[in-house]
Amino acid sequence: MLCIRQLSLSYADGTQALCDINLQLPTGMVGLLGPNGAGKSSLMRTLACLQTPDKGSIHFANIDVLKHPMALRQQLGYLPQYFGVYPNMSCYALLQHMAILKGINDSTHQKQQINALLELTNLSTVAHKHVSTFSGGMRQRFGIAQALLGNPSLLIMDEPTAGLDPAERERLHALLVTISQDKLILLSTHIVEDIENLCPFVALINEGHIVESGAVQSLLAPLQGSVWQSPRRPSSDRHILSESYRFGLPLYRILAQQQPNAEAMPVAANLQDRYFYELAKKGHSDAAH
């Protein structure tokens, strides 16, 4: 269980990235969903002890994370959104270096673990190539391999599917589901589908605030029975949850107690509906002020 209380973070230029975050996250896969700029990376970096918050507390298992960051690092795997520049080293050598930093010093154990992770992330055949020459997807898989070194009990992954092609994305999903049995995997993304596929628990974040959190089914319950899909725009824009296209034709998802137009069909609410509902609610309340 990860317990975050009254966590706030601002940057030197005065940007308030996190405002009074309160969250209790269970073991398993947890999604952190929000638009770009919502504060996801700021929260991830703060949880990984790479930034110090202005106030608040973080507890993981029995560790007071802000007081004992080294104790957390022993149990943490972190996949950042950007790695920055890669040193001029092979994938294998870089993993070896990172293993040592994580305290995996025994050479047999180290070799076994690195080989298993290379296999898992499908990088065995390129293990001796420099990471700096890797494609986006290969770099992402390298990032996942390094995050899994030491079998961490808390895995923080910032936009893990960025840059992956559909097959790689499926493979990563399967991998995450397999390893999530005894870990807390916190996955940040703006891709609702990734969370719907993987996470039984979700937190929605917008403008530095947690808008909602809970089991996905409980977040959908209030909208069930009121979501419609129609190729025709409803009379009031206030009812539109989302507007997309299918085979080049418009498709509206509409929130309404009664059938909004003759073409509208009732559909089951999904996480994207709840996400857009929360964003629209915020937009309306901003407009009213």
Angle at 249 between CA 198 and CA 252, to 5 degrees: 60
Q: Find out whether 144 and 79 touch, Cβ atoms under 8 Å.
A: yes
Chain centroid, CA 51 distance in Å = 18
**Binding residue for ligand ADP, selected from 34, 77, 137, 152, defined by CB under 6 A:** 34
Task: List, as one string, the DSSP characters of 40-75.
Answer: HHHHHHHHTTSS--SEEEEEETTEETTT-HHHHHTT
Q: Does 36 bind ligand ADP (CB under 6 A)?
A: yes
Quick one: tokens of 250? 């418009």
**Binding residue for ligand ADP, selected from 15, 107, 135, 224, defined by CB under 6 A:** 15
CB-nearer residue toward ligand ADP: 34 or 77: 34
Q: Does 17 bind ligand ADP (CB under 6 A)?
A: yes
CB-nearer residue toward ligand ADP: 16 or 24: 16
Q: Find out whether 263 and 212 touch, Cβ atoms under 8 Å.
A: no
- Using CA atoms, how far apart are residues 224 and 226, in angstroms rounded to an integer? 6
Q: Does 123 bind ligand ADP (CB under 6 A)?
A: no
Q: Does 239 bind ligand ADP (CB under 6 A)?
A: no
Quick one: tokens of 141? 């898989």
Q: Does 52 bind ligand ADP (CB under 6 A)?
A: no
Give min distance, CB of 204 to ligand ADP, in A.
Answer: 12
Q: Does 46 bind ligand ADP (CB under 6 A)?
A: no
Q: Does 189 bind ligand ADP (CB under 6 A)?
A: no
Q: Does 160 bind ligand ADP (CB under 6 A)?
A: no
CB-nearer residue toward ligand ADP: 37 or 200: 37
Q: Find out whether 41 and 81 touch, Cβ atoms under 8 Å.
A: yes
Residues at the interface with ligand ADP (CB under 6 A): 11, 13, 15, 17, 34, 36-42
